[in-house]
Amino acid sequence: MRVTTQGFICCKAKVMKRNFQGKITSGILIICLGLSLVFYQNLTTETSKPVKIFALLRPDASPEAIEPALSELKDPLVYGLSWRFKWETLEPHEGQYNFELIDKSLQITSNAGKKVILHVIPGMNTPEWVYRAGAKPVNFSNRDLFHAEFYNENLRMPVPWDEVYLAKWERFIQVLGRRYNKNPHLYSIAIAGGGRIDEMNLPKAHKKWRELDYTDMKLIAVWKRVIASYQKAFPDTPMNLAINEPLGQKGSNVLMPIVSYVLATYPQKVYLQENGLKADLPRENIIRQTIRAASSKTIVGYQMIGGKGFLDKETGDRLTAFRNALEDHVSYIEVYAGDVRDPNQRRALQFLATPVERR
């Protein structure tokens, strides 16, 4: 049972007022005080849980090349590493796989006694051979993305509901599952396939989506199909879905139908996270509300919006951001490796991972 601090204070205030007026019996007072104690204990438990820190590595990082520099492998505050690989890197030619990259990342991480969140990223990182096979692309500009300066000017991804694309991606998921399902070193695997990367977001090229006959129902059907494919491929491995409203709050209505579907169909099997944690993310933000509400039914987490060397200013004070996450009852956070290695962020990381730091 979760009770807010406001509710706890309110209960105490009402008891004090009634007692002052002489309209409450000693028996009721004892009961209320007892309930208040329970509420307080629940609050203490809520805020004293350790949060698992995953060091988020850059996409396609070579495990062998960067292993000597991975100080987080020996960091007691770090629970695991988040490895990210592009689909075009893992399957540069149809049916030819570079799984040794994943194998090595799992090996060096598990040798250090840590877990892995595995991200395989399609969307903008779809192999060229998929288009040659007939998948329909949508071409867009970096201006259709937040922080356009980090992307090439001209970009493309497959139309999410294109049958050729979906068939190729689902086949890859099944191959991936045959190799890594039940792997004891995986904390979870990220669900991807309906967005521009490994999350639900799409380029905000609204005119082009209209020209492609976009509908919310089409995209909802894609996400349900992709999630089911992951469930079939990884029946014994937890997975995480990075949620958001794909075309913005006024551009689509996909977020809540998918969240409701996941919580009703795969509770505790599909974790929910959001990839934009920062210091000034308002508590009433729809994503924060969704994460908080889902925390009673499944594992929830965040990925930072940025870190040292990437959107540092936009991320803001890390300690404040982590407090936001704790309010939303998260179990894990993906923190950019630059922040994990930054001595200036040590206190914030200790606060997150060590309950005694919050007392």
Tokens for 304, please give them. 């930072």
- Per-residue confidence (pLDDT) for residue 240, from 0 to 100: 98
Which residue ranges make up each domain of the chain?
Answer: 1-47, 49-358
Contact 116, 187 (CB under 8 A): yes
**CA separation (Å) from 14 to 32, 33, 67, 276, 313?**
10, 11, 59, 39, 44
Residues in the chain: 359
Q: What is the pLDDT along the chain (359 residues), one digit of tens a residue?
A: 343 433 433 433 433 333 434 433 334 333 333 433 333 333 333 456 899 999 999 999 988 777 777 889 999 999 999 999 999 999 999 999 999 999 999 999 999 999 999 999 999 999 999 999 999 999 998 888 888 777 878 899 999 999 999 999 999 999 999 999 999 999 999 999 999 999 999 999 999 999 999 999 999 999 999 999 999 999 999 999 999 999 999 999 999 999 999 999 999 999 999 999 999 999 999 999 999 999 999 999 999 999 999 999 999 999 999 999 999 999 999 999 999 999 999 999 999 999 877 76
Taking alpha carbons only, the member of 105, 130, 280 closest to residue 186 is 105
Q: How many other CB atoms are there within 10 angstroms of residue 276's CB atom?
A: 21
Structural domain 49-358, CATH architecture: Alpha-Beta Barrel (3.20)
Q: Are strands 154-158 and 137-141 parallel, antiparallel or unpaired?
A: antiparallel
* pTM, two decimal places: 0.86
88 exposed, middle or buried (CB, 10 Å; 0-12, 13-18, 19+)?
middle
User: Per DSSP, what are the bridge partners of residue 93?
Assistant: 96
- Strand runs (DSSP E) across 124-203, as ranges? 137-141, 154-158, 186-190
